[in-house]
Amino acid sequence: MKKTLTGLLLVLTLLSGIVMPGVAVFAEEETPVSKSALEITPSGARLKLAPGDILEGKADHCPSGEDGCSINVKNIGSAAIHFRVYMSPYAVSGENNDLSFSEEAATAHTQLSRWITVKNPEGEYVKEAIYSAEPNQSINIPFRVEVPQDIPGGSQYAVIWAQILNDGEGGGIETVGQIGAVITGRSTENSVETAEISEFDFQKFSFGGPLTAQATVKNTGNVDFAAKYYYTARTLFGKELYKQEDFIAAYADTTYHINVEWEETPFLGIFQVEWKVVAADSEQIQTAVVVIMPVIVIVVVVLLLTVIIIWIIIIIRKSKERKARKLA
pTM of the full structure: 0.77
Q: Residue 36: what pLDDT?
A: 80
Query: Dihedral (C-alpha) 317, 321, 323, 328: value to the nearest 10 degrees?
Result: 160
Element (H, E) at 218: strand 211-219
DSSP class of residue 65 equals S
Q: Residue 160: what pLDDT?
A: 98
Give the phi and the psi of residue 298 in degrees, each rounded to 5: -60, -45
Interatomic CA distance for residues 149 and 50, integer angstroms? 8
CB 3 within 8 A of CB 254: no
CB 58 within 8 A of CB 70: no
Q: Residue 175: what pLDDT?
A: 62
For every residue of 200-212, DSSP letters joined together read: EEE--EESSS-EE
> Which stretches of the chain drop beneath a pLDDT of 70?
1-34, 167-175, 328
Q: Give, in order, the Cα–Cα distances in Å from 74 to each of 17, 78, 80, 85, 179.
A: 11, 12, 11, 13, 11
The residues near 24 (Cβ < 8 Å, ≥ 6 apart) are 177, 178, 179
Q: Residue 232: what pLDDT?
A: 98
First-to-last alpha carbon distance for the chain, in angstroms, is: 75
Torsion-angle region of 190 (φ positive above 0: left; ψ -120 to 50: alpha; else: beta): left
The residues near 67 (Cβ < 8 Å, ≥ 6 apart) are 140
Interatomic CA distance for residues 24 and 262, integer angstroms? 35
